[in-house]
Amino acid sequence: MNYAIQVCRKSWILGMSEVRKLLHDPTELITRAIQPILWLGIFGEALSKVRAIPTGDYSYMQFITPGILTQSVVFIAIFYGLNIIWERDMGLLQKLLVTPTPRLALVWGKMASAGIRGLCQAVIVFLFALVLGVPLILTPLSALWVVVIVLLGAAIFTGLSMVIASIVKTRERFMGIGQVITLPLFFASSAIYPISIMPAWLQTVAYLNPLSYMVDALRELLVSGSLVQLPTDTAILVVTAAAISCLSAYMYPKVVM
């Protein structure tokens, strides 16, 4: 119990120091907003004119908005491993590891940091979708649930990234792997086209990809409003996030060795 309180308190402290960093220099949030805006504004608009992708009762723009939101959150999170390698090279990580901070709190602090940036992205994507006139559902409950899903997604991919960083250990190798896995993660999911139009082998990959469940949950919340799959999606994301947190807390200190 004591340990649980420690973990939560320290995660909060570390997360809040990340907020302070963002407040000191918010330019990062603005530059990060460019990519999702381009995807929605150019890719989305172009493909919805072509009408090449069957999206059922919804417009392609409605279909793709949760996908782009997911993508922008995941792309932030997946490079957190680079951040810990950088902190290791700086000496910051060593100093944190020498404090009596539970390892899990160090991991959750990073996840919270990615989550906060992810939520900023969510606001930007949402506002831009409104500008483009994409109809999205927005109730207090759906908004709250979107926050939960974004935080879980950010946690999963931050954790995955930290595990990779603790294996590869150098920036150069991490950059290589980061590039190799981000696009397949994105394309082997339901982010920009429905899983049903994929070949069978890719469908299997998509079902194993946590990103698909994140997209699915956001799509139900923001577009369809039918929340049939939502409990399952959320449960899968919670379990994955928990598992990757533990793995990451175990692996992460090894990056200094």
Partner 1 sequence: MDDQDLIRVENLRKHFGDVKAVDGISFGVKHGEAFAFLGPNGAGKSTTIRMLITLTQPTGGTASIDGLDIVRKSAEVRRRIGYVPQLISVDGTLTALENLLLMARLYDIPKREGIDRAKEILSFLELENQHDALVRTFSGGMIRKLEIGQAIVHRPKVLFLDEPTSGLDPVGRQNVWKHILELRKTSGTTIFFSTHQMEEADAMSERIAIMNQGKIATIGTSDEIKSAAGRPDGSLEEAFIELTGTNIEEGGSYREARRMRQVEKRLG
The residues that touch partner 1, with contacts defined as CB under 8 A, are 10, 13-14, 17, 20-21, 24-25, 89-92, 94-101, 253, 256-257
137 contacts: CB under 8 Å, gap ≥ 6 = 221, 222, 223, 225
Query: Looking at beta carbons only, is 44 or 109 nearer to partner 1?
Result: 109
> How many Cβ atoms are within 10 Å of 93's Cβ, its own excluded?
20
Query: Looking at beta carbons only, is 56 or 91 nearer to partner 1?
Result: 91
CB 229 within 8 A of CB 215: no
In the complex, what is the shortest distance from the CB of residue 101 to partner 1, in angstroms, rounded to a whole number? Answer: 5
Query: Looking at beta carbons only, is 100 or 140 nearer to partner 1?
Result: 100
- With residue 241 as reference, give the H or E element that holds it: helix 230-251
In the complex, what is the shortest distance from the CB of residue 10 to partner 1, in angstroms, rounded to a whole number? Answer: 6
Give the closest residue to 110 by CA, choosing from 86, 145, 143: 86
In the complex, what is the shortest distance from the CB of residue 183 to partner 1, in angstroms, rounded to a whole number? Answer: 29
In the complex, what is the shortest distance from the CB of residue 61 to partner 1, in angstroms, rounded to a whole number? Answer: 36
In the complex, what is the shortest distance from the CB of residue 100 to partner 1, in angstroms, rounded to a whole number? Answer: 4
Query: Looking at beta carbons only, is 23 or 228 nearer to partner 1?
Result: 23
In the complex, what is the shortest distance from the CB of residue 257 to partner 1, in angstroms, rounded to a whole number? Answer: 6
Query: Looking at beta carbons only, is 26 or 184 nearer to partner 1?
Result: 26
Query: Looking at beta carbons only, is 11 or 71 nearer to partner 1?
Result: 11
Distance of CA 29 to the CA centre of its chain: 15
Q: How far is residue 235's CA from residue 232's CA, in Å, rounded to a whole number?
A: 5
Query: Looking at beta carbons only, is 32 or 55 nearer to partner 1?
Result: 32
In the complex, what is the shortest distance from the CB of residue 85 to partner 1, in angstroms, rounded to a whole number? Answer: 13
H helix runs in 91-229, sequence order: 92-98, 103-131, 140-168, 171-187, 200-208, 210-219
Q: How far is residue 244's CA from residue 110's CA, in Å, rounded to a whole number?
A: 13
Give the closest residue to 82 by CA, choosing from 3, 161, 17: 161
Tokens of 75: 């792309």
98 contacts: CB under 8 Å, gap ≥ 6 = none
